[in-house]
Structure 1
Amino acid sequence: MARSKRSIDWGFPRWRGYEAGREAQSMRLCDRAGCDEPGVCPAPKSPNSPERWYFCQQHAGEYNRGWDYFAGLSAEEAAARASDEQRDNAGYRESVHYGWAGSGDGSRSRDEMNALDVLGLDPDVEFEAVKKAWRAKAKEVHPDVKPGDAQAAAEFHKLQLAYEVLRAAEDRRQWAGPQA
């Protein structure tokens, strides 16, 4: 009878102890002088260079805040690089139309999201809550309540437009019916 070549610790429970993997793990520290945090965020030392700094999250944020992508380029070279990148990324710009790049779950358009921001509501709110918030805010700044106040009239107009956008979107959803 042939002997099995499988070890005794191939599954669970493990029949051997866990002592084998108890060596100290080497950890790279942040490259910022005096920092003792782990350096887990690589950052380029210079543009188009394979060499990297390794910073902790706090120092990586500081490094990236001061990063200038166009450093060392003339105005013409910077404009050429910017136009090349816009040309190369044009496909991503098109995806915004389909709702992939917007916030929320993709079921609301950018106009609807802006209208919800005007009313101070979350993206996943029901239309009844939209009506309730619109009525409450419109009562505060209605021209009959504040006659002669141009700022209140402008705010009321903005609330009215936001409500119309959301009402039209709700009507479209009701006419379209449930999506399968």
Structure 2
Amino acid sequence: MAGGRRSSDWGFPRWRGYESSRDTVEVRICDRHLCEEPGDRPAPKSPNSPERWYFCEKHAAEYNRNYNYFEGLTKEQRKQREHDEQRDAGGFGQASHYGWGGPGDGTRSSDEMLALEILELESDADIATVKKAWRKLAKENHPDVNPDDADAAKRFQAAQAAWDVLRTAEERRSWKGA
């Protein structure tokens, strides 16, 4: 046999993947000290620099959490950048009264907004107001009070579901804050 070992790339079944290659692949290691993970997520070294750090997913998240957008800028440059950002995003604020962005200020999900609508409340209602409205609707539409009214039973079930959605959302928010 001339040439040494025979390749396993011939015939069927093929013993390695079709997309695999025998060429070496350069893997960049995370730029964080003592991290051995692949650094496949670029991050700017400074706000206006083309140079990049390359982090793993964990360290990229840490970097983004602690990133100071205004670092290295003078007070005038900070004000100018903030002004430019507000100017560029101002159209969204001006169009908000048309309701294009959806209801509320973005802190509540669409399910929560629907639940507030069922309870006939505004989007900025607090949990005490929600509980008060839920109790009022539950008392008015309870099956024991209205035994043969199918519509009242549906309203009662809707109020219960709305209360469950809003209560769990409030609990979730309080857990995140803790």
TM bucket by the smaller chain? 0.3 to 0.5
Normalising to structure 1: TM-score of the pair? 0.47
Normalising to structure 2: TM-score of the pair? 0.47
